[in-house]
Amino acid sequence: MSFRMLLSIVLTLMVARLTLSLDNGLARLPPMGFQAWVRFRWRTDCDLDPKNCLSEALIRTMADLVVEKGFKDVGYEYVNIDDCWMATERDPSGKLIADPIRFPNGMKSLADYVHSKGLKIGIYESMGYQTCQGFPGTFEHIDDDAKTFAEWGIDFVKMDTCHTPRGQLVSEGFKNFSRALNSTGRPIVFSCEWPHVGPHPDWDTMFNYCNTIRNGRDVQDSWDAVTSIIENFAKNQVIFKNVSGPGRYNDPDQLIIGDYALSYEQSKTQMALWAIMAAQLLMSNDLRDLPAWAEDILKNKEIIAVDQDPLGIMGQRIVNETRMQVWTKPLANGSFAAVFFCPFHGIPYDYTTTPRKLGFHTGTIYKIRELFEHKDLGTFQTDDSVTVTVNPYGSVMIRADPVMSSHKPGTHFKINPL
Ligand SMILES: *[C@@H]1O[C@H](CO)[C@@H](O)[C@H](O)[C@H]1NC(C)=O
Ligand SMILES: *[C@@H]1O[C@H](CO)[C@@H](O)[C@H](O)[C@H]1NC(C)=O
Ligand SMILES: *[C@@H]1O[C@H](CO)[C@@H](O)[C@H](O)[C@H]1NC(C)=O
Ligand SMILES: *[C@@H]1O[C@H](CO)[C@@H](O)[C@H](O)[C@H]1NC(C)=O
């Protein structure tokens, strides 16, 4: 092949690549924040439940706590309202309005408040005639609604697809809304949720018009929901990996750490796997009432750093045994992360591997550290054995950084010994 041919192929590939991303300068790293849905849902009766109803007061409180409890310091930035924020009808001019009882000062004022805390604010709509909970949808109002959100100072839009005429209209709707957001001139993260039933995602549209992509079922406050999302991502990892990179990330849905369902070990697993997948990290929990251990997991800076690695690569599952899954992810500067997840009941299980088996660069010496225990485990050569002990339903997460120093024999380490 001539040099000219090669050059033209390379240039063509570069151009093709350049067109494959929503160019709004946002989501260079996976977005992080709070999302109201899983924890607060359709609670709209403030007389019955003033403390938990979806309201201006609740969102202000959550914004306060994101700052006061140190979540902002570790990267949580967006405070996102989900479905049920609207009045049941548009105003006479066709404009969306927030429910006047629950949001008495309106969305602009709430956005100003969230911004005054140094945070960003997100909102929710659906592509259809109605949202999933029956509030006004954006169908045939796309340009106006994008403009309204921009006027209010919204920074993030989660777009659902309930009540959409199926098929082409979903793709067309995402495209139109993305263009409409762009023409407001306000940088707004566009988070798209592909319908979990119906046709396979239209990847071309999602790639070109969305910052984050949901293509699985909603998470529920349940361990089964978390494990089925993990399995869905593993099963489709070759395709989903393609989504991930600066400007565009996968969305396996909200973190439910600190809610009712997950144990301590299960919570570690959700955090570790969402991070290794470079997922958008939106926690949905009651920040007024989080157990200290849940807060620790959610604020684990070393794990967040894996999620927020600048390469933005989605980790892949390389081992799927009954009692152990192994996931690995290349990080910037030749580093790697790995998660050892035990999906099985019983007692803590040992798992022995080597840097070679984990797919780390051979011939390189790695300094390995465990990220839940914040513990250095020594330096390891390609074929040194590494043994981890993982509690049932829990995860051990390591980070391996290449070192230049001369090799000290790797210690065989055990984490969480019985
Ligand atoms: C709109 O799109 C153009 C071209 O893709 C991009 O340069 C610009 O930053 C976008 N603006 C916003 C506000 O998203
Ligand atoms: C998208 O925009 C085009 C051009 O304005 C319009 O013809 C089409 O009906 C829109 N589709 C949807 C689903 O909004
Ligand atoms: C990854 O995305 C590119 C660009 O859209 C596409 O050509 C390629 O087939 C995709 N690969 C997989 C495995 O989906
Ligand atoms: C992974 O292993 C589990 C348990 O053995 C099994 O149910 C599942 O089908 C496997 N997944 C894939 C993608 O092979």
Residues with CB under 6 A from ligand 1: 23-25, 182, 185-187
Cβ-contact 300, 249 below 8 angstroms? no
218: annotated active-site residue: yes
Enter the tokens of residue 35: 């999302």
Predicted confidence at residue 315, as pLDDT, reads 98
Domains (ranges, CATH) in the chain?
Answer: 14-307 (3.20.20.70), 316-405 (2.60.40.1180)
Active site residue 47: no
Across the chain, what does the average pLDDT equal? 92
> What is the chain's Cα-based Rg?
22
Residue range 157-177: mean pLDDT, rounded: 88
Q: What percent of the chain has pLDDT over 70?
A: 90
Confidence grade of residue 19 (pLDDT, cut at 50, 70, 90): very low
CA-nearest residue for atom 14, ligand 2, is 173
Contact 254, 226 (CB under 8 A): no
Q: What is the pLDDT of residue 15?
A: 42
How many H-runs (helices) and E-runs (strands) does the chain carry?
12, 16
pLDDT at 1: 46
Does position 165 have pLDDT exceeding 80, yes or no?
no
**pLDDT of residue 6 exceeding 70:** no
Q: Is the pLDDT of residue 14 over 60?
A: no
Residue nearest to atom 3 of ligand 3 (CA): 242
Residue nearest to atom 3 of ligand 2 (CA): 176
> Is the separation of the CB atoms in 305 and 330 below 8 Å?
no
Nearest ligand to the C-alpha of residue 324?
A: 4
Q: How many CA atoms lie within 13 A of 92 on its CB side?
A: 0
Quote the pLDDT of residue 322: 97
Mutate to test the pocket of ligand 2, among 176, 192, 205 (most ligand atoms within 8 A of CB): 176
Mean pLDDT of the region 219-244: 95
For ligand 2, atom 8, name the residue with the nearest CA. Answer: 172
User: Rounded CA gap, 195 and 192, in Å?
Assistant: 9
Q: Which atom of ligand 1 is nearest to the CA of 184?
A: 13
Catalytic residue among 160, 251, 307, 384: 160
Q: What angle do CA 301, 331, 402 make, to 5 degrees?
A: 95
Least confident of 165-179, 234-248, 259-273, 281-295: 165-179
The residue-averaged pLDDT of 296-318 equals 98
Which-ligand-closest: CA of 323?
A: 4
Evaluate if pTM is beyond 0.85: yes
Catalytic residue among 64, 143, 144, 218: 218
Per-residue pLDDT at 164 = 86
